[in-house]
Amino acid sequence: MRRLFDRAFTLLVVSAGLLALMLFVAIAGYLAWRGLGAVDLDFLTQPSRGAGAEGGVRYQLLGTLILIATALAAAVPPALGIGIYRGVYLTRPQARRRVSLLLFVANGVPSILYGIFGLAVFGQLLGWGKSWLAGGLLLGMMILPTLTLAFAERVDAIPKKYLEAAAGLGLRRAQIVRAVILPQSLGGLVSGALLGLARAAGETAPILFIAAVFSGATVPHGIVESPVLALPYHIFVLAQDSFQPEAETHLWAAAAVLLGVVLVFALVALPLRIRLHEEAHHG
Amino acid sequence: MADIPLGNLDRETTRRATSIPEPAAVDVRPVLETYGLCVRSGRRLLLRDIDLVIEPNRVLGVIGPSGVGKSTLLRCLNRMNDLVPGLVVDGDVLWHGRSIHDRGLDPDALRARIGMIFQQPVIFPGSILDNVVFGARRVNGLKRRRWHQRAEQVLRQVFLWEEVQDRLAHPATELSVGQQQRLCLARTLALEPEVVLMDEPTSALDARSTEAIEQLILDLSQRCAVVLVTHDLSQARRVCDALACLCLCHGVGQLMEQAGCAELFDNPDCRAVADRLDAAHPPPNAAAAD
C-alpha cells in the first residue's frame, strides 16, 4: 500500500512538472514557429515603418530596455532598504508579518491600477505627460514588492548563528548588514529582479497611459513629454488594429523578440545568482 | 602543539605539566561583576538574583544541569541578550565597576572587548584569512597590509598556524570541526578581548580537539579572563580556577555557590555538584548496599 502511494505521489509530482514544462514549450514553440522566421539583424536594428507592417523593432526594443533599466534602478534601492529594515531593524515578529502582508497586497494590485495612479501623479500632478521616466518609475513601483519579497525571504533564511557570531565580535548593525546579510541574500534580489523584470517587460497597461506611444518616438531627450516606443504596446496595437497580413508577421516576430528579451534576462541572471550563492555559502 | 594527556588531572597538575606559570596576582579587582541579575522571558523568570565575580586572568567555570540558564547568564555578560526579542534583564552587570547598561556605554564596543565562543564553531563563508581578521578589520580598523601578520600572530596563539599557513586563502569550511573552533577563537583573539565567554566550546568536538581547546583555555588565561560554560565536571576540574554552580529552584535558575575549584569539588554545597560527584565516584558502602 505504501509503495502504491509512493508511486502515485511520484506520478502526480512528475505530471505537474511536465505540465509546467509543456506550457512553456508550447508558448515558446508557437512564438518561434510564427515569428522567428521574420527575426533577423535587420528586424532588430531597423525602425518600424508603415504602421508596423514594415521595417523592424529598433526603437521598440530600445524603449523596452530603457523602461526596464529605469524600473530596475528605481526598484533595487528601496527593495534593499525595505528588506533590510524588515529583516534586521524590525525585531518584533508581528511587525515583520505586517510588512510582509503589505508587500503581498501590493504585489497583487492589478497593473491597470498602477497605470491610473501613474497617470494621476506623473501625467497630471507633475505634468510630465507621456514620459519614459514616468513609465520606468511606475514599472519600478510595480516590481518593488516582488523584488522585496524575494530579497526578504533570503534575509530571513540566513542562519541566526552568523548574525550572532558577527554581533559577538562587536560589529555594528550596519557592518553586519554589509558583511553578513548582503553577501548571503543578494541572490534573492537577483531572483526577484528576474521575476519582476520579466513581468515589467511584458506589461502594457501601466505604460499605455504614461510612457509609450505606437509611433513617432525615437531616443528620449528629456523627461517631460518624452515618450518611448515599447514592444508590449507595439504587439498590443498590432494585434488589435492591424488587418494587414505583413503586420501579422511583424506581430509574431515582435512577440518572439520580447520572449527573447526575457530569456536573455534569465540567462544573464541565473549564472550570477549561482555565483552569488556559491560565494555566500562556500566563499 | 604539545601533546599532553590531560585526562583526570586537576588544574594545578595541568599547569605544571604544561609549564604554564601561575598568573601574577597583581590586579585582582574583578573585570565583571553581576548584582541581583534576573532574566525574564515574558512572564517567565529564567534566572534569579545572580551575584557573580569574574576576576582577570582566571578561568571561571559555570556548571549546572541542562536548561538551568547557563548560556543565558553568559549572554548577559556582553549584552548578547539584547538581541533576543522579549528577553528582559534586571539587576546589573559591572564592567570595571561601570554598569554595562549605562546609556553612554556602546554595546558593540563592549562585545568586542568581551568576546564569545559558541557551542558550534561559526565559520563565515570565505577564506581562513578572511575569517581570522573578520572582526579585527571591521571593529579595530586593521589595515589590509597587516592582516597576514595579525593572522599569523593569533593563529600561533591557538596552535593552528602550522596546520594552515600554506592555505590561508582556502575556504575555512575545509577545516575540521576542531580546527574551526580554534579558528573562531583566533578570530576572537584578534580583537584582543579582556574576557572570553565560552559556551560549551568542546561539546561538538572529539577527544583530541577537546584536549587542544582545553590547552588553549589554560594558555588564554594568561592574557584575559575566561568564563567557561561546561557540562563536563572533569573538564571543569582540569581548566577552571573557580566554579559557579547554577541549580533549578522551582523552575528558575539560581546561583547556589561560587568558590574555588578545589574547594567546591572537595566540599560541595551545591546539590547538583554533590549528586554528580556521587554518581561519578559512588561511596563504597553505597555499592555494598546495592
User: Which pTM does this prediction carry?
Assistant: 0.79
Q: List the pLDDT tens digit at each of the 290 positions of chain B.
A: 434 344 445 555 555 555 555 555 555 788 899 999 999 998 899 999 999 999 999 999 998 888 889 999 999 999 999 888 888 999 999 999 899 999 889 999 999 999 999 988 999 988 999 999 999 999 998 899 999 999 999 999 888 899 999 999 999 999 998 899 999 999 999 999 999 999 998 887 888 888 888 988 998 888 899 999 998 888 888 899 999 988 888 889 988 888 888 888 887 777 666 776 666 555 555 444 44
Contact B85 A279 (CB under 8 A): no
Share of residues in chain A with pLDDT > 70 (%):
95
The DSSP bridge pattern shows strands B225-229 and B195-199 to be parallel
State chain A's mean pLDDT as an integer.
Answer: 83
pLDDT of residue B290: 40
Q: Tell me, what's the pLDDT at B251?
A: 86
Q: Do B188 and A169 count as a contact with CB atoms less than 8 A apart? A: yes
A230 or B198, greater pLDDT: B198
Which 3 state secondary structure label does DSSP give A47?
Answer: coil
Question: What ipTM was estimated for this complex?
Answer: 0.82
Q: Is A280 on the interface with B (CB under 8 A)?
A: yes
Q: State residue B1's pLDDT score.
A: 42
Which chain B residues contact residue A171 at CB under 8 A? Answer: 108, 135, 138-139
| 3-class secondary structure, A218 | coil
pLDDT, tens digit (0-9, with 9 covering 90-100), for B77-112? 999 998 888 889 999 999 998 999 998 899 999 999
* Predicted pLDDT at A84: 92
Q: Give residue ranges of B with CB < 8 Å to any A CB.
A: 78, 80, 83, 85, 108-113, 115-116, 118, 120, 122, 124-127, 130, 134-135, 138-139, 171-173, 184, 187-188, 191
Contact between chains at B113 and A170 (C-beta distance less than 8 A): yes
Q: What is the pLDDT of residues A5-45, one digit of tens each?
A: 999 999 999 999 999 999 988 888 888 887 777 777 887 78
Q: Looking at CA atoms only, how far is residue B129 from chain A in angstroms?
A: 11
**Alpha-carbon gap, residue B186 to A169, rounded angstroms:** 12
For residue B126, give the chain A residue with the closest CA.
A283
Report pLDDT for A110.
86
Domain boundaries, chain A: 53-282
- Residue of chain B nearest A161, judged by CA positions: B122
- pLDDT recorded at residue A55: 74
Contacts of A168 in chain B (CB under 8 A): 78, 80, 111, 115-116, 118, 188
Rounded CA separation B107/A36 (Å) = 63
Residue A93 identity (one-letter amino acid): P
- The span from the CA of A251 to the CA of B203, in Å, is 67
pLDDT in the model for residue A280: 64
Chain B residues with CB under 8 Å of A92 CB are 85
pLDDT at A18: 93
Q: What does A50-115 look like in DSSP terms, one character per residue?
A: TTTTEE--HHHHHHHHHHHHHHHHHHHHHHHHHHHIIIII--SHHHHHHHHHHHHHHHTS-HHHHH
Superfamily of domain A53-282: MetI-like (1.10.3720.10)
Question: What number of C-beta contacts closer than 8 Å exist between A and B?
Answer: 77
